[in-house]
Amino acid sequence: MSKIEELLKQQQEITAAIQAEYARSKAEADKGEAQAQYEWGVIHYKGQGVPQNFAEAARCFKLAAAQGNASAQIDLGAMCEQAQGVAKDAAEAVRLYQLAADQGHAVGHCRLGLMYESGQGVKQDYQEAIRHFKWAAQHGDANAHFAMGSVYENHHGVEQDNAEAVRWYKLAAGLGHEDALIRMGLLLEQGHGVRQDYAEAMRCFMLLATKGHAPAQIQVGTMYDQGLGVKQDYLQAKRWFSLAAAQNDPVAQTKMGLIYANGKGVPQNYAECIRWYKLAAAQDNAAAMSNLGFMFEHGLGVDIDEAQALQYFNKAARKGDPNAIKNRDIIEARIAARQPHTP
């Protein structure tokens, strides 16, 4: 038997095993076995070998949740929050998370804490949120550790304490929470309430950046761009921004536009700058839209086009971009001043 024939035979055996597992799972779900109902719901939620079907996933989760399956209660709660396959219902999500929490499920406690923190489906109560976060954190939930860091960073029910936030983020990062590494790195980079430590910030960002994490790649690029704890190196900045931009990250695309606009480590190239800005603007990035408005206002790489500039400034202004608001007002005042005065 050739290698190709051997691999094809293995592929056939794997396919047969998968089909047998589908049949077994569905049969057990049809018999009312809660875990099988939950697993069948996951298959439809993720579209694993079947068309993705949120309504069928929700139906299966409901059956399992009614039998006390905590995982089904949590996943159905999330679907109620996001209106996936069911009507949006934050109060129902709270009820389901509470059922899971009552069974001692850490994720249920953490999700319930998030609902109390945001006041969705329940009266906002930071202390109750913290109680649930701490319970879940004590039982090893990484998201709960991250939530506690956020509580201290954003002073939700506690005095703002970025040093304590970093402590919680570090614990979360140790459990594999990627966003915790980013938040920890940003606090250390900025030195807000903690000792500024560029080297440790870079270590946090680099751990994720080398794994292809776009927000971390942007932070590494920013540190090289500004010379924060490292020798300023525009080529390194461009390298990291371009890696994130290749993942269609609008912030990174805007950074790439700025590199070409300012000629940082590359020849100044307004056409390339505008290309990157437009990619980011197509994703409603306010900074990119504001920058495009500036290019059209001043004829940088394009013909001067006040109407086009105003259009971009208006879009960015609606998103609260302060530069866009200022420039929009300037253009509107300029246009008004040109209008003929009628007594």
* Whole-number Å distance between alpha carbons of 128 and 70: 21
* Whole-number Å distance between alpha carbons of 184 and 279: 30
Percent of the chain surpassing pLDDT 90: 85
More confident residue, 49 or 104: 104
Amino acid at 30: D
* Whole-number Å distance between alpha carbons of 94 and 194: 35
Q: How confident is the model at residue 44 (pLDDT cuts 50, 70, 90)?
A: very high
Across the chain, what does the average pLDDT equal?
Answer: 94
Task: Note the pTM of the prediction, 2 decimals.
Answer: 0.85
Q: Which of 39, 45, 46, 44 is nearest to 25 (CA)?
A: 39
- Helix, coil or strand: residue 299: coil
The residue written with tokens 């701490």 in the block is: 134
- Do residues 312 and 281 make contact, with C-beta atoms less than 8 angstroms apart? yes
More confident residue, 295 or 21: 295
**Two tokens, residue 279:** 């990619």
CA angle (223 as vertex; 191, 234 as ends), nearest 5: 155
Q: How confident is the model at residue 198 (pLDDT cuts 50, 70, 90)?
A: very high
Mean of pLDDT values over 272-286: 97
The model's pLDDT over 139-173, given as tens digits with 9 standing for 90+, comes to: 999 999 999 999 999 999 999 999 999 999 999 99
